[in-house]
Amino acid sequence: MRVLYPGSFDPLTLGHLDLIERAARLFDAVVVAVLMNPSKQPCFPLEQRLEQIRQATEGLSGVEVGHFDGLTVTYAQSCGAQVILRGLRAMSDFEFELQIAHTNRTLASRVETLFMATSAHHSFLSSSVVKEVARFGGDVAHMVPPGVAIDLERLFNRQAAHDSRYG
Ligand code: ADP
């Protein structure tokens, strides 16, 4: 069975990766797909996010990387995924995720949403927290894969250099 794991992944964290690894043990294939959401202004361009995911999942068999815009259920159907996987960190995630899951069911009743509880030691992690820590020079090595840590350092060094020149 194939599962779709959609998200912004701006950037990929070790929490996301943990979910991908666990899903890869349960499903024949995990399609990790970056949603190009027009209402969100990402820090990393699409191609860079895809590369971060490809690099971090290189050694995992059964993991595919893709991207999409529009409806998640339509993409799930087009890539042959019967299940959409979402991670739950805390109750605060639950209400919104449940609303989306119900909506998706009304759109495509045969596509199931599966929630997986995140690992306890990753439950505080989010892409936004990682960006805040990196922006102020904090160490993010325990939060993101090595390639993402390098990308974050480059991004915020470049921004700091730009700000000191023009800011
Ligand atoms: P979105 O904008 O779709 O919420 P995210 O990249 O923030 O995109 O999250 C994608 C998925 O990964 C969501 O299901 C989210 O709950 C899950 N997720 C986010 N952070 C973690 C984490 N620390 N551990 C496990 N799953 C997570």
Atom 24 of ligand 1, nearest CA residue: 15
CATH topology of domain 2-120: Rossmann fold (3.40.50)
Has residue 165 got a pLDDT over 90?
A: no
CB 84: neighbour CB atoms within 10 A? Answer: 24
Q: Are 25 and 3 in contact (CB under 8 A)?
A: no
pLDDT tens readout for residues 128-142: 999 999 999 999 999
Each domain of the chain, given as residue ranges in start order, spans: 2-120
Mean pLDDT of the chain: 94
Q: Among this protein's residues, is 16 annotated catalytic?
A: yes
CA distance 92 to 86: 14
State which H helix or E strand residue 133 sits in: helix 127-135
Work out which ligand 1 atom sits closest to the CA atom of 5: 11
Q: Are 13 and 92 in contact (CB under 8 A)?
A: no
Atom 2 of ligand 1, nearest CA residue: 8
pLDDT tens readout for residues 84-122: 999 998 877 899 999 999 999 999 999 999 999 999 888
